[in-house]
Structure 1
Amino acid sequence: MSVANGPERRPLADEILRQLPLADKTSVWGTLGTLRPHLSFNVEHDVQALLESVSGEAVDYRTIIDLLTNRSNEQRQQVSEAFLAFTKQDLMKTLQAAVSGHLEGIIVGLLRPAAQYDAHVIKTALKGLETNTLIEILSTRTKQQLREILDFYERDFKLDLEEDIVSATSGLFTDLLVALIKGNREKHTRVIDYVLIKQDTKALVDASNDGEAGQPNGSEWIRVLTQRSPEHLNRVFSWYHKTTGFPIEEAVEKYFQGDMQEAGLTLVALLRNAPLYFAARLYQALKGPEVNPGALARILISRCETDLLSIRAEFKKHYGISLYSLISAETKGNYQAALLGLCRAEDM
């Protein structure tokens, strides 16, 4: 993935994030989300408002969108439970019957618990073999979040995720995905281990020429990339560049092919700068040959309570236009209103 180089000076929030492990940034990212718990939250009021929004002659889309994009996921779960208790109807099914198109996808995503939403996205991504989507979810969730995803996957589909991965993929790509769902990435200790940096760099260099017929030892690459902290790996990447004369991205392109190459490049991009990666994905979704509504909804829903402010900052810095403005220009209608509700505000 190609993105322009930004200025060397970084905002304080970005510097703090760079000191934290990729999958453990959630607690800090929570302060960088665009969507936070509604301070005047009243579950009974919300249930009544949603019931009225679908009970009149016309669906009140504005109320549905405003309410769901102004509540945290935890609050939305409380509303769903109260709606069921009061009406004996499932809120998600009720709203699905009232809306359609791309807006329906956003409503469903907002009403599912985060881990359940991830499980369903993963299931779809495995069917279509969406490499980037699989890597971005599995590499940016904590060990606990991954456990919850596995539980929802088994509950909703009556299938084991690891078995599904093995049946839907092949080769090193399978090994990489299986390693990621284990959630064994080390936490950043704030101690720079120069000996280990050189050992891991040497392991990658040796693994590049270790296999038969010039094929790399992919297992060693997977071990290093899925077990070390992002902070440590970024130093390994720098040392690898100094040692070999070319960036780690070029090594991935040189030594791997197909799904494993695409997955490796995605993982490296996320390890280097996750908010920038997501900014680039959003830009592609908006400015590609055609708008990609699934990618837009998925990223905004999954990042709105964690690091969407950082993503917005990277977006504006690298593309010269705010995410809010580009969504306004490239989408329309109630779908646009929902996306803007999650994006929240313009970046000047």
Structure 2
Amino acid sequence: MALVSEFLGQLTLSYGGEVEPKFPTVVPVRDFDPEKDAARIETAIKTKGVDEQTIIDILTRRSYEQRREIAFIYERLAKKDLIAALKGALSGSLESLMLGLMKSTAQYDASELKASMKGLGTDEETLIEIVCSRNNEELLEIKKVYRETFKKELEKDIAGDTSGDFAKLLLALVQSLYEAGVKRKGTDVATWIAIMAQRSVPHLQKVFERYKSYSPYDMKESIRKEVKGDLEKSFLTLVECFENRQLYFANRLSDAMKSKGAKEKVVTRIMVSRCEVDLMKIRTQFKKQHRRSLYQTIAEHTKGDYQKALLSLCGGDD
């Protein structure tokens, strides 16, 4: 890793302070009538056998703020909590998806991180996906929500559940404490971590371009040659997200749906967490990369009410 380390050590990084534009597939509905929506959901839940279609139609086509308003009115109307009512009425992947939609993006990410560190063993894949694909602004919000919800610091939980350089990298990303222009001495991995944790995307994109002329391998090939395991996966995720974050999510969705017994947890997580952020752009990248639309792929690899909910979040065919 000496070559990579030497190259990265020569860099001075600057933060990209601009706010990323949003490309959602789920937007606030016009002529919003929360009373009517709440009443329709209550009727759907009370219907014999549950009318899942109505619940899907409403909750997947309202923004988070609108869903919150529906939940507030539902409680007044039905004298019970909407989340508890949905838990009682739905099951399986559809239930997970609908309950996910009742959280803000940051709340959902925080709860997914918590779940990935619960019980026996850590779900490193989820940890890597969330921590390495969110920008600094998103991570700050996740940390705040994590503290409010679980009365614990996200860093402490990560430190308790991971170890070695993998833990150092995740903590550096979550803490976002490195100042611009760090030139560190120390082990090669420490240099990589310091550079990656800066995360000024436009700058790093130029870095990777320049790296190609400096090395016989591109950045991803160098990573594969020089680090292994969870650390390798983390670095690769970071590089993929720096190069094209929406393409990273498009490929994750494609892999999850192609795998035997579609990895519904991954599909649900990406669709729920990105539908009000950049799912429209993910859709575009999906079609470009995989020559099929995300909509068609969901239709082919999922089924039932869960499929209907995903297609609704997808927001149309390309």
Answer yes or no: same fold by TM over 0.5: yes
Q: State whether structure 2 residue 145 is matched by structure 1 residue 174.
A: no
The CA distance in 1 between the partners of 2:49 and 2:208, in whole Å, is 57
RMSD after superposition: 2.4
> What amino acid does structure 2 have at the position aligned with 1:273?
N
Aligned-pair CA distance for 1:249: 1.0
Partner of 2:96: 105
Partner of 2:197: 226
Q: How has the CA–CA distance of structure 1 residues 294 and 74 changed in structure 2, closer, same or farther, with 3 Å as cutoff?
A: same
- TM-score, length of structure 2 as denominator length: 0.87
Aligned-pair CA distance for 1:174: 1.0
Native 8 Å contact 1:22 1:271 kept in 2: no
Secondary structure of residue in 2 paired with 1:39 = coil
Q: How has the CA–CA distance of structure 1 residues 46 and 96 changed in structure 2, closer, same or farther, with 3 Å as cutoff?
A: same
Q: State whether structure 2 residue 308 is matched by structure 1 residue 308.
A: no
Aligned-pair CA distance for 1:337: 0.4
Q: How has the CA–CA distance of structure 1 residues 338 and 173 changed in structure 2, closer, same or farther, with 3 Å as cutoff?
A: same
1:210-225 equivalent positions in 2, closer than 5 A: 211=187, 217-225=188-196
Q: How has the CA–CA distance of structure 1 residues 151 and 229 changed in structure 2, closer, same or farther, with 3 Å as cutoff?
A: closer
The CA distance in 2 between the partners of 1:115 and 1:21, in whole Å, is 21
Identity within the alignment, %:
39
Identify which range, 122-131 or 50-59, moves more after superposition: 122-131
Q: How has the CA–CA distance of structure 1 residues 291 and 340 changed in structure 2, closer, same or farther, with 3 Å as cutoff?
A: same
Per-residue CA deviation, residues 175-214 of structure 1 (Å, 9 max, x unaligned), is 1111212245899xxxxxxxx8xxx9xx79xx8xx64xxx
Secondary structure of residue in 2 paired with 1:312 = helix
- TM-score, length of structure 1 as denominator length: 0.80
Q: State whether structure 2 residue 108 is matched by structure 1 residue 137.
A: no
Identify which range, 120-129 or 72-81, moves more after superposition: 120-129
Partner of 2:217: 246
Secondary structure of residue in 2 paired with 1:93 = helix
> What amino acid does structure 2 have at the position aligned with 1:133?
T
Secondary structure of residue in 1 paired with 2:114 = helix
Q: How has the CA–CA distance of structure 1 residues 111 and 86 changed in structure 2, closer, same or farther, with 3 Å as cutoff?
A: same
The CA distance in 1 between the partners of 2:17 and 2:279, in whole Å, is 15
The CA distance in 2 between the partners of 1:38 and 1:234, in whole Å, is 36
Per-residue CA deviation, residues 307-347 of structure 1 (Å, 9 max, x unaligned), is 11111111111111111111111111100000001011111
Q: How has the CA–CA distance of structure 1 residues 288 and 185 changed in structure 2, closer, same or farther, with 3 Å as cutoff?
A: farther
Secondary structure of residue in 1 paired with 2:117 = helix
Tell me which of 39, 56, 59 is aligned to 1:48.
Answer: 39
1:1-348 equivalent positions in 2, closer than 5 A: 24-25=19-20, 28-29=21-22, 32-127=23-118, 129-183=122-176, 211=187, 217-347=188-318
The CA distance in 1 between the partners of 2:146 and 2:253, in whole Å, is 26
Aligned-pair CA distance for 1:222: 1.0
Structure 1: segments with no counterpart, 5+ residues:
1-19, 188-195, 212-216
Structure 2: segments with no counterpart, 5+ residues:
1-14
Native 8 Å contact 1:249 1:265 kept in 2: yes
The CA distance in 1 between the partners of 2:126 and 2:176, in whole Å, is 17
Identify which range, 127-136 or 291-300, moves more after superposition: 127-136
Secondary structure of residue in 1 paired with 2:152 = coil
> What amino acid does structure 2 have at the position aligned with 1:304?
C
Native 8 Å contact 1:135 1:267 kept in 2: no
The CA distance in 2 between the partners of 1:170 and 1:139, in whole Å, is 16
> What amino acid does structure 1 have at the position aligned with 2:108?
Y
The CA distance in 2 between the partners of 1:185 and 1:228, in whole Å, is 10
The CA distance in 1 between the partners of 2:300 and 2:60, in whole Å, is 20
Native 8 Å contact 1:23 1:142 kept in 2: no
